[in-house]
Amino acid sequence: MSQLEICALASGSNGNCYYVGNEKEAVLVDAGLSARQIQLRLEQKQIDPSKLKAVLITHEHSDHCRGARVLGKRMGIPVYLTKKTFLAMRKAVRPETPRWFEPNEEFQVGEFSVLPFSKQHDAVEACSFRVSYAGKHVGVMTDIGEACERVKAEFARCHAVFLESNYDDDMLMNGPYPYYLKQRVASDRGHLSNEQACLLLKEHAGEQLHTILLSHLSGENNTPEKAYAVFESLSQTYRIELTSRHAPTEIIAI
C-alpha cells in the first residue's frame, strides 16, 4: 500500500495551492498562483507533474483560481469546480476543461475519493474538500467564516488538515484595513481567526487526527509567530506546522 503525502505549495491571502498524492497519482486543491509558479514549486519539491489527475477549485476568489486555466491547459489536467463557481470566475481564468461537481456529493479522481462540502464564506458556492485514499482522510479547510456543523463533522474524520488560521484579533482590529473590510474578515462569512481555529481543533478533533498545517495566514493581520503561539500548547498532541506564501512546506507522510 502506497502512503499518502501532503504539501502546501503555497498558502496565504495572495495565493493558495495544496498537494495531496500517493506514489502514482495526485491532486491539487486550488491554483491561486500562476501556472509557472506552481510548476516551479512542484519541481522544487521533486514532485512528478505527470502524477496530477485534477485541480480542485474551492471558490472563485483569485487567490484560489488564478492559475487554473493555464495550468489545466498546459498540463492537460481537468479542473473540477461547481458551475456557479465557474460562472463567478473572471473569464480570463475560467478553465477550458471544466468538470462539474455538486457540493456535498462525493466523486472519484483516480484512486482518490473527493468530498466537496459546503462552508460559510463570501463566495457564490464555496466548498472545502476532504480527500481520501487507503483509509486516510486529508481536509483542506480554509476560507471559513464560522465552522458550521458540516465543517465540524468532516474535521472530525480527518487524519491531517490544512486548517485556516487567518488572523490575529488584535492585529486585525488595530491594523490598516478599513472598517468595512475588518468587519468582513471577522464575519461568519469571512475567515477563521487563530483562536477560532484552535477551538475547532480542541473541540472537534477525532482520535485519528495527528497533523495540522496552519494555513491561509494573512500577510497584514497575522504573523507565523502569533498563529503558532495559539496552538503551541497542543504541539505535544499534534504535529503543528506552519505554511507559507513564499515557499512550499516539506512533504509530509500521512
User: Which domains does the chain carry?
Assistant: 5-244 (3.60.15.10)
Q: How far apart are CA 53 and CA 160, in angstroms?
A: 21
Where b means 16+ CB within 10 Å and e means fewer, 122-153 reads bbebbbbbbbbbeebbbbbbbbbbbbeeebee
Residue pLDDT, tens place only, 62-109: 999 999 999 999 999 999 999 999 999 999 999 998 999 999 999 999
Please state, for a pLDDT cut of 70, what percent of the chain lies above it. 99
Residue 138: pLDDT band with limits 50, 70, 90: very high
Q: Are strands 5-10 and 252-253 parallel, antiparallel or unpaired?
A: antiparallel
The answer on pLDDT for 19 being more than 90 is yes
Residue 136: pLDDT band with limits 50, 70, 90: very high
Mean pLDDT of 142-158: 97
Residue 2: pLDDT band with limits 50, 70, 90: low
pLDDT value of position 254: 94
The answer on pLDDT for 193 being more than 60 is yes
Residue 217: pLDDT band with limits 50, 70, 90: very high
pLDDT value of position 97: 87
pLDDT value of position 244: 97
